[in-house]
Structures are given as structure tokens and as C-alpha cells.
Amino acid sequence: RVYLPIFFIMGFIEEIQRRRTFGIVSHPDAGKTTLTEKLLLFGGAIQEAGAVKSNKIKKGATSDFMEIERQRGISVATSVLAFEYEGIKINILDTPGHKDFAEDTFRTLTAVDSVIVVIDVAKGVEEQTEKLVKVCRMRQIPIIVFINKMDREGKDAFDLLDEIEQKLGLTITPLSFPIGMGYDFKGIYNIWEKNVNLFTGDSRKDIEETVEISDLKSEQLNTIVGNTAAETLREELELVEGIYPKFNKEQYLNGELQPVFFGSALNNFGVRELLDCFVSIAPPPKPKQSEERLVKPEEEKFTGFVFKIHANMDPNHRDRLAFIKIVSGEFKRNVPYLHVRHNKKLKFSSPNAFFAEKKQIVDISYPGDIVGLHDTGNFKIGDTLTEGEIINYKGIPSFSPEHFRYINNADPLKAKQLYKGIDQLMDEGVAQLFTLDLNGRKVIGTVGALQYEVIQYRLEHEYGAKCTYENLNVHKACWVETKDKKSAEFLEFKRVKQRFLAKDKQGQMVFLADSHFSLQMTQQKYPSITFHLTSEF
């Protein structure tokens, strides 16, 4: 065991403590891209608005392959946006808002230490937000809520806060409160810092006017926002104090309490308050559970896991970029690390780190950081890298897909290419592959219909293989769990339901239920078997 000099260890610990790795989640159009951009502006990582490209797929672009390619390009560029703010190194992990890529977002959530949820004040809690917050809650990820577009007419603040509590199941505490809204929007009272920010509606301005209000009862408030607004604000703040729990950092960090901010990302309003609070309360990298043990970031030895794989944009180079979240120790360039699943040492001569929208080769990275490694097909999502210890990080489950189709080979001479292509695309996490027990036929399961076109297009352009699809009526894929594989009940289940049984890519047994009803009936008939909608349980 090599003992490192104390000054070195000090530096290492500080590097960990100053990192904040988080994701912004929202329903498309709530303002995620706009907010990201404003955060980068504060960090000085970009100079002008409009620099961050939206990775959303424009409406009606479902069969436009150029659009898919363009989107892939952008999503490499915006996978990780890193910047520094007041000595804190912030890593924003991009999460696609488009529902067809929800699985990608779920996986990215395994690599974040906290999230900011953006909600559109007029639209309130939308479907994607609900799904994503559910995953965050399952993982006890600390959440800050940002209610955006306050410059527009929207829902009443209290109604919206109610909706957030009910639909998202959160326990919230407003740390800022709007003064008026839309046309009458005057500004924000910052409960966290006890001051009033006046809204000017001038998006070119970087920092709005801030007036310290030490006492809410003071006449000063009336002078600034007018009598009516001042009175309303006092009443509302009294209500806030009466209804909502006081902010408590410990509870926030445990995922039990969620602070709420109001603002307008487009007008750069309320963003600095959000960022200042974020850097002071959001958690640095946390310990992570592996199958073997809990691994702490301060541990000297490097460990990390792959949470995302991105194919190269250049079809002539079929290498890919595997995104690794560093959990412990330091990741160094040209040092051999153990690829645990393959039991093979690999070293990386050009690990990429991310800075705003640029990639650059780095010699050393710390826990909380993301490095992009060039990969020729060694990695799949969930793989662990270590300095030699056998560690397997848990917690990148597959969710039941929503769509299922048979995939057929359309060019008998290219069977090998087809299977290689399917294999690699599945490792990238584009979709899930199931093989039917009965006849070995292959079924592709996806979250959105768009993926079928992506797969077909990429198989042809990257692997030279052709495929066709055939519809298959499946409602949900359920991972099957039984305590006793030899029980009469389980054997009967296997015999009766043989037609609906398949293996996933890991060889786990899956029941492809053709309707909600049949799933219920099966569950009733075989009570000793549990049917899970995720691959890890």
C-alpha cells in the first residue's frame, strides 16, 4: 500500500468537496436549455445567449433521419456541461426531455448527485416531469424545483405548489416567492436571502436590481413594489410560513424536503438566486453502493461506472464514447484499469473531459467528474472500471419498454453484421433485446416508436445490415422472480405461459404480458411469482 503525502490528500479531498454533479429534468419546453445556458453564462463558460444548442427533436421530425443525426451530434456536445462558479466545479449532465429517450434520462440519473426540476408556471406539472421525479424519489436524490416563465401569465403560486406536492409527491418549501405574475410581475422576494429582486424584463441585463429588505413590515417594500403588491406579498409570505415546513438542509439532502424557486430563465431572472442556493446546499459526490460494498469518494483507489454510451458521428470510425462517472479516487490518463466484467486491463490515452461545450483531453479527473473514453466495443452500460478490486456497481436497471416488435433480417448475406449491430446498439442502450424461449425469435423493445427508425437507419449506415420489423402485441415486459425454481407452481407457469416467455440480454427471464388484464390474471393464478417492471429488484 502506498501512502500519499498529506498535502496531496488534502488537495484530493478539496477537489471532491468542490464538485457538484447534477441534472436538470423537465418536460420538453419548460425551459431546461434556457436555464442551462443562463447557468453557463454565470459561470463565464459561454459569452452569449443562444450558444447552447437544444437537443430536442423538433415536432414532426420523427422520420427525418438528418434530424436524428443532428440530434445525436448535439447530444454528444451537450452530454456534460462543466463550468466553475465561485470556486465550485459544476457538472451538468444533460437529460433528453423527449419521451422516446426517457430511458437515457433514467440512466443519467444514476450518475447525478442532485437534480433541478424545471416547471412551466402556465403548464404546471407535466407527464415527463412526473415520471422523472418518481425515479429521483425512488433514489432519494435531492431535488430543487425551479418554477419558470414567471414573466408570463400562469397558475396561481399556491395552486401550483399544491399541484407539485400532489402530483410529484414532494414535500416542498418555497425559498423565494413571486410578486405578481405575467404582465404584473414585479419581482421576487428571496426568502433564502431576505431581499427583493426587481424585475426589469430586460433579458440583456445580467444581474437584476436587488434591494435588501431586513423587515417585511417596513415602508420600504411599499415604495419599491407599490402598496397593493406589498400587502399581498406580506399576506402570502405569512401563509407560506404557516403552511410549509422550514427549510432544513439535512432533510433536503435526504430527499425528504424540496426547496422551490420562482423565476424566468429567459430573462435571467431568479437564476442567480437558484445558483447561489444550489452551490451552498447541493451535495458533493456521494458514496455509491456496489454489489460488494459501499465505496466512498475519498478512497484512494479509482472506481467508476459507465452510464452512457454514444456512437461516433463519423460512420468511418465505428468507435464510441463511453461516459464514466468517477465514484472514488483519481482517474489518470494512460494508467491501466480493470474492466471488471471482462476481467481485462485497459488503458486510455485520450480521456475526454468536458468544459462547457468543448471536449479536451485531461490527465486527471476526480470523483463527481465525467470522462468520455473512446471505446471500440468493450463497454456496455453499467460496466465498472477499478484499479484491480472486483466491484460491480448496481442500479442501472432496465425499465419495461412500451413498444415491441420482431426484428427480421432483410439481407441473408449480412446476418453477421446485423447481429453485431443489434448487439452493439443494445449495449449502447438504444433499445432492449428479448429472445423468445419458444422459437428463438428476436424482439426489440423500445420506449418510443422513434427508436425503431433510429435502429434501422443505424444498422444500415453503420453496419451495412438491413432489417424489417413485424408487430407484436405486448403490453409490458415483466422480469420474473421466484423463490423456488422447482416449485410445482413455477413449473406450471413456465409450461402454460411458454409462448410469452423470453430472455433479456443478460439471460434473465421475462414474461411478455399481452395485456394489463392477462398480467393481472397471471399474477393471481401464480401468487408465489413476482412480476417486476424493472430488471433490478
Residues of this chain that interact with ligand G4P (CB under 6 A) are 26, 28-34, 54, 56, 97, 148-149, 151-152, 264-267
| Residue 160 Cβ vs ligand G4P, minimum distance, rounded to whole Å | 15
Report how far residue 12's alpha carbon sits from residue 433's, in angstroms, rounded to the nearest whole number: 42
User: What whole-number distance in Å separates Cα of residue 103 and Cα of residue 533?
Assistant: 13
C-beta of 152 vs 466, nearer to ligand G4P: 152
- Judged by DSSP in three states, 293 sits in coil
Task: For ligand G4P, give the closer residue by CB, 278 or 348.
Answer: 278
Residues 309, 428 contacting (CB under 8 angstroms) = yes
Smallest separation, CB 453 to ligand G4P (Å)? 21
| Cβ closest to ligand G4P, residue 50 vs residue 507 | 50
Phi, psi of 167 (to 5 degrees): -75, -35
What is the rounded distance in angstroms from the CA atom of residue 476 to the CA atom of residue 484? 24
Q: Work out how close the CB of 126 gets to ligand G4P at its nearest, in angstroms, rounded to a whole number.
A: 10
Q: Which three cell numbers stand for residue 320?
A: 464510441
How would you classify residue 365: left for phi > 0, otherwise alpha for psi between -120 and 50, otherwise beta? beta
Which residue number, 50 or 440, has a Cβ lying nearer to ligand G4P? 50
SS3 458: helix
Q: How far is CA 140 from the centre of its chain?
A: 14
Q: CB of 266: closest distance to ligand G4P in angstroms?
A: 3
CB 134 within 8 A of CB 220: no
* Closest distance of CB 31 from ligand G4P, Å: 3
* Consecutive H or E run containing 358: strand 358-361
Residues paired with residue 26 on neighbouring β-strands, in sequence order: 118
Minimal distance in Å, beta carbon 45 to ligand G4P?
17
State which residue, 72 or 318, has the beta carbon closest to ligand G4P. 72
3-state secondary structure of 35: helix
Closer to ligand G4P by Cβ: residue 151 or 402:
151
Please say which residue, 185 or 323, places its beta carbon nearer to ligand G4P: 185
- Nearest approach, Cβ of residue 274 and ligand G4P (Å): 12
**Grid cell of 205 as nine digits:** 441585463
- Which set of grid coordinates corresponds to residue 90? 459544476
